[in-house]
Structures are given as structure tokens and as C-alpha cells.
Structure 1
Amino acid sequence: MLYNHITELIGNTPLLRIDPAVHQLPNVEIYAKLETYNPFGSLKDRVAWGMLQDEIEQIVEKQQTIIEFSSGNTGKALAVLASLYRINYETITNRIKVPEVHDLLRLMGASIEVLPGMSECPDPNDPNDPLTYLEQKIHADPSHYFHTDQYRNVKNYQTHYEHTGREIFEDLGAVDYFFGALGTAGSTRGVSTFLKEQFADLQTVGIVAEKGDFIPGLRNIDEMSEVGIFEKTLYQDILPVDAQDALSGMLTLISQAGVLGGPSSGAVYYAMVQYLKQQCLEWAEPKKVVFIVCDRVEWYLSYIQKRRPELFEQKVPEGSFWKLKATDFQHAPSIAPEHIERFLREEDPLIVDTRGSLAYKIGHLPNSLNIPDDKLADILTFGVPFPHERTILFVCPKGDISKKFAFFLQRKGYKAYSLEGGIIQWRKDHQQLLRSPA
């Protein structure tokens, strides 16, 4: 089959029926929409091209720089497209947690500017948020930039409405359940809107990451409220998944279905099967279920290696931090803002700020030290570097990740706590933040 341009390969991806022997659910037919077949490897190829297609000639003519807030697949696709059209691409991010993504963006010629962020998701109401910074940067030189604006651009979900949803319907007809990962929410909004117009009884279920856990491409439910195109009323249910369960789902897809999806696809598959186990027992007739395989596993080998070292024939330290499940630390000990002054005075704790180094430099609690969460997690996997006799207070942006560290150390016999509400709540209460010297 002959094509004249790489963008002609975007879309029209296969729909694969998953063998019932894999999911073992009665009265259920599960179909995987394999977005890994897009030319740059992910679902976001559609979105990137959808946001650029009608504008690209003008962007080239003006020699504008494409700019976006992205640390993942949208950024990769935009970087390739910018390179194809001999224009520049710049990504603004508050943190790229997967080394392979950073390396790929560099390889593709992208300019990467890393900023501190209060959460993994942009908050347009926060003057210190990376998205606000991006808009200020564009405002200073508007003719220089073309902002694709994936979190608020209606073309994000319209692309999936016009193409992804239509493709599923043309291949399968009416669909009973649709499951999708929630990041920008473009795919689930677009696909479910189209399918529901064809079959009013469609049930749409969104999948999010557990609070305090990290799954590439997924937000937690609090962060979804900050996404401009997210419409909560579209979903009959929204299910949280932790990283370990996401990897279990991913490994099932790889080993039993031959689908080389990444952690986000595994999260959707795992949550979907668990959700349908009870539902399907009540069905008299088979139901058709569709989920999206967002991207490929190869981008995430370092992420997987940290959390499942045994897969790489590496020794797994007993009580590894990376093996914690979200249910373990939901009730971790926290210090409420109204009690913090007394706690600091009486306990004189060692304060460990787990944010990125740039965010720490801009503003941190007095007398705190900075160990970014990914580095601290690696350290704790092999031993605790803190004196056993000291009380420890962990600090993060919202108080979710710090709970995980507090629980882990409490389990080892330490007096460890999390700052409830994190730096965001501390700032709201007008508490003092110190700035590091330049």
C-alpha cells in the first residue's frame, strides 16, 4: 500500500477482539483500539495533526515556533511534525518523569524548558503554574509562537469525534461500554460523544491514577478538574488505578494478547476487567466493550524496571518503596495546617521537601532540605538515610506523594508524617516560604 506523506498514516487503526480466554468474562466481547499503529506510536498523533492540519501552511509561512505544555506523547508527535515542516517546536513542562521521553524529544530537535509546577496538570487559575507562564511567554512575542493548547483546544476532542469514534462505529456498530484513560480527556470525550449519538445507552468509564501515584499519561481525579475540556457528566464512572495494577494489566496484554501497550493501556485494561467482573454476571446477552491502547511499552522501560525489577532479573529489595500500592498509604499520618506550628515547635522535625529542585528554590519551608521524590524513592528502596531518633515531615505539592513516604518510614519504625495539603495549602494559609539564593 503506497502513501505519499507520513500524515496519511494517521488514523484508521485496527480494532482487535481480545480472546475471551484472556479476560475470562462471560457475556463480554472486548475490543482494543490499537492506537499504537499510528506512525509516531500513539493516540496523540491524531490530536497533534488535528490541531495543526488547518494551520500548518500559515505557521510555515510565518516561520512560527509551535509551543505546547507537554511531557509526553503530544510533545513527541508535535516535535516530529515540526521537524517535517522545517519549523521549531518548544515544549514547556513542569517535569518529565520518564527519561526515554526526554531523550526522544531531544533526538527530534525539540527545545525543552522545564519549570516548577504545583501539580502534574496545569491549573489556569494559578499564577505560578507552567501554563500561565507559557501564556505570558506567548503574550510577550505573539507573532513568534503558535500555541496548540491541547488542554483547551476543541480540536483535541473533535478529532476523536470525527475519526476515532466513527472508525469504532463503522467496524463494530453499537457499543455498550467504552473505557478510556483520562489525561487531557480529549479521546474519551470525542469517542464517547460520537458513539452515544449512535447508541444512547452507551456507558463511558474513565480511568485515572490513584492520588500519590504516577502512571504516565494519566492524571488523578483532583487534577482532572483543572483540564479545560474535561466534562465529568460524560462518565458513568471514573475509576482510580495504582501503578502496580496498571503494570499487571499491561503484562496481561503483552503476554496473553500480544498487545505491546504501555502502562496507561494496562491501567485501563486492569480497571475495565475488575469493573466488568460483577456487571457481566447480570447480563442475559453479550455486551460489546471497547478500550483504547494509547501507546507502546518501549517508551517506559525505565519506569517498569523501577517498579518491577524482577522482570529484568534484578534482585528485589525486601519492602521496596516502588512496590507500595495506593491502598497501603491512604491513611498515612498527616499534620493538618492548623496544627503545624505546634508540631514544628514541639517535634523540631527534619523537613524533607520532595518537589523538583527548581520548585524548591523558588519557595520552600524554612529549614527544609530538598530530595526530589523520584530520587528519594530510589534511595529508600536500598535504605533509609535519616536518623531514627528524628521526627520527619515530608512535603510535596498537594500532600498526596508525601503520604507515601510517611507511610513507608512509619512502617519501618520511624516517626514520619506528611504535611496535609502540601505546599499549596501552606501558601494559601499565608505561611512563610523561603527562596534559595540564585
Structure 2
Amino acid sequence: MGNNGSVERRTVLKAGGASVAALGLAATTGCGGDGGGSGGGPVEIRFAWWGAEERAKRINQTIALFEKKYPKIKVKTDFQDYVAFWEKFQTQAAGGNPPDVFQNAVAFLQKYDKRSVLLDLKSQVDAGNLSLKNFRAGVEKVGEVNGKLLGVPVGSNTMSLVIDEKVFEKAGIKPKQGWTWDEYFSALKKIRDTQKVSGDTGYFGIMYLYDLYLRQNGKAFFTEDGLGFDEADLTEWWSDGYNRVKAGIITDPKKVEQLKPKSALASGDGASEFTWDNFTVRYTTEGDSAYGLAPIPTTDGKETGQYLSSLMLSASARTKHPKEVAQFINFMVHDPEVGKIMGYDRGILATTEQFDAYKPTDAPQQAIAKYEEDVAAAGVLGTITPHPAGADTVEAAFLRIAADMSTGKTKVSAAVKQFFSEAKTALAA
């Protein structure tokens, strides 16, 4: 886990059901030990994640496979939508009773490491219960913080630009690797003038896109212990966005809000939208046009600032079953059958065993895989920016305050001051 991703995570990952108990099926044990168990008896571990019903169905299928391979380990499951998950997790963590293993994202690693909630999994790697081999493009580094292994990626994603291909084609615009922000904004104006539709749905409120822009200019949204930019930087970014809204090349923010949970791109009220590449499948289900992935605009015609982010699996420092938890994580990230079941639900599969095992047949997922391959081949991927404790609260503030600024509820200068005030408080907590 990472933009309008805060909104999209609440939409795309909306959970529609309650907890589901996984089935235990007896069979042979797997590699890495005797299948776990204290004194030969069964062990129960708790696994929690956020996601939709479809994700829950897929995960429970993989758990059935795991329990078949490790019959002495039973997995009790729980899932919520994104917001409810973290509300519940925070309560559990504060009470000293977090789940043994859980889905996690980069924005939460420092936060919960600081509170001694997360297990350093390096000891389980050393013990042979967890392998860090065969990860794609070094994505396993995403879970390393302060010399500790706090999460193991299950999938990778990167920021992308999703476009309405029909609108772009009619406007005579062909995005290319290395195009600049000036070229992008010129394209948006041409789309508005010729196709009578706003060119972008609101780039300026996406924290992770702003991070890319800062990285293109030698800075970053976060440093290891705070913000990597100043008020002047943000004033320029938000003033630019506000002016483009007023110029009509950005979708009216009030319209965007009214359309939710549907995207303004899918509704035909915008021609492009920045988001994580693995979210692309939503547009095909929501809209009736053709949607594609285009390169991120650049400042210098070369660097996009992109990096691979990831959803990952982390473990509780309080778990009584670290070996069994490590075996579970190892199975979930390496087993080929798990890869076939999960597909790209949580991003492009992180390990080569799973990536090679899953062959997407539908166009949207094929496009996602190709996009990440193309980005990697272009040599623009860098190392993910560290996220300090409080990053999740900072992201929520960025999204909310940008929305208020864009709809005229607050002036740019006041919005910038409010953001820095709230960010300072969040990062000091």
C-alpha cells in the first residue's frame, strides 16, 4: 500500500460482507517444516485484510490451499473496507491484540514500527521459513524500514495516467514516453477545445502524483522523518491546479464529488486521470469507452519520478506463532497456484513464480502488465520514498484540503498553511 487513491481505495476496495472463516482441509505438509503446531497440536493464526467481496473469495480459496498443505495451521480470517480496516486495526493494536498477519501498505510501516506493533521478519528469513528470492524488480525492498523487514510484497503497482483512448484519438493526441507537463497541459486544452470535455479529472489533489513531480525536481513528498518540500512548492502546485480548473481544462471538482463513487473519467466528464496502474480495471466496468495507460509527464523529458509501490503482508510482534505466520506469508507470495487465483487483484504479482504462473486473458490486466514492463524497460523506476509515521494522516489531509481549495471553500494560501499545520501535528504524533 498508495492520490485520489485514498478515495479510490474506499471505492475500489469497498467490502460488501462480514468475516469469513476459512475451511481447513487435511492433506500433506509443505516445505519449511512440519506444518507448524505447538507440541504437535493445531495452531490458529488470524489474518486480516481490506478489500471487496471478490478479493475475499479469492483469498479464501488461497487459504484453503494453504491449509491443505499445512494441515496443522488453521487460519481465521477477517476483512473490511479500507477505512474500517484501519479503524479496527488501530483499536486492536492499541489493545495489544492485532491479527497475527495482515495486509499492509508503505504508509503504515513507520507508524506501527514506532509503536512496536510489527514483527521484524528477518529472523524468519534466516530460519528458512520465509524466502526473499525471486521478487520482481527488487520490489521486496518496499517492506524494509530502519534495517528491519516489516512487510513482504504480494503485488506491485506504480502511478500511471489512464486516458480515454477514443477522446485522445479524436483530438489527435498520442502520449509518448518522455512527454513534458507543458505538452500534457497543451493536450488537455486541445481536448477541451475540440472534444468539448475537460482533459483531466483533478491531478493536483493526488498526493502520490505530487510526490512524482517533486522527485522529478530533486525533492520528494516525504523524507525519512518529515516533509521534503516547503510552502512555496505547494503554493505553486495548488495555484497551478486551481487556475487550470478555472480555465476549464480540469473537470469541475463539484461535479467530480457528485459522481462518486463513479469516476469522472468513466462517466465521460474527463478524458484522463492519474491513479495506480492496477486500479485501471475499474474504468472498464464503470464506463463505456476504451481506456488505456499512458506515460507520466516529465519536467525534463526524461525522469518520471516513478517507483514500484506495493500491498504487502506484515506480522504482529505479539504473535505467538512467528514460524507459522512466516510459512503463511511465504506460501502466499511464492505459491504459483495462489498467483493464478489472485491474479492482479492486489497489483502485478510480486514474485516470478506467481507472475509466470498467471497469464491474464482480459485486455485491462494484460495492459497493466505491459505498462509495468514498459516502465521498467524505460529505466525510469527509482526507489520508493520513505514514509514517516503519520504519513497516512498526511495523505488524508492533502486530499481533503486540496478538494476544499479547488471548490473555492478556502484560498490557496490558507489551504497551504492549513496543510502544513495538520501535517506537522500528524508527523509529530
Normalising by the smaller structure, the TM-score range is: under 0.3
Q: What TM-score results when the alignment is normalised by the length of structure 2?
A: 0.25
Q: What TM-score results when the alignment is normalised by the length of structure 1?
A: 0.25
